[in-house]
Amino acid sequence: MRRVWITIVYGEIFDANVINAVFAAAHDLRKLGLEPVIVQVYNPGSQLRISVNGIYLNVDENLVDEIVSTALETASYEEVLDNICFLKRKCVASMECN
């Protein structure tokens, strides 16, 4: 199961209502076979920011969809990188055997 890091930084208590949307997106991600890891940071005075695997998102009415789509994109990209690394290891192993 692939992990997806969702980070929420907020500076006002009123910004915490966004957390409900993040947990709704986390529920959708679990259905898709991804493991969401939610990190909440309360830093008084800071601006509300949400990121998925390091990619910052716009906080608007489409937040849940943006979280899910960004998580799927980054997870598929990580899958491609894992496959490339696997193929490189196989090539090196076959070259060492010859």
Mean per-residue pLDDT of the chain: 85
Cα 21–Cα 27–Cα 28 angle in degrees, nearest 5: 95
- Assign residue 45 a region: left if phi > 0, alpha if psi is -120 to 50, beta otherwise? left
Q: How confident is the model at residue 81 (pLDDT cuts 50, 70, 90)?
A: low
* Predicted pLDDT of residue 50: 95
11-54: pLDDT as tens digits: 998 887 888 899 999 999 999 989 999 999 999 999 999 999 99
Q: Please check the confidence at residue 78 and state whether its pLDDT lies above 80.
A: no
* Predicted pLDDT of residue 80: 61
* Predicted pLDDT of residue 14: 86
Domains of the chain from N-terminus onward: 2-97 (3.40.30.10)
> Please, which residues have CB within 8 angstroms of residue 12's CB and are 6 or more apart in sequence?
48
Task: Identify the CA nearest to 63 among candidates 29, 95, 21.
Answer: 21
Task: Outline where the chain has alpha helix (H).
Answer: 18-31, 63-97
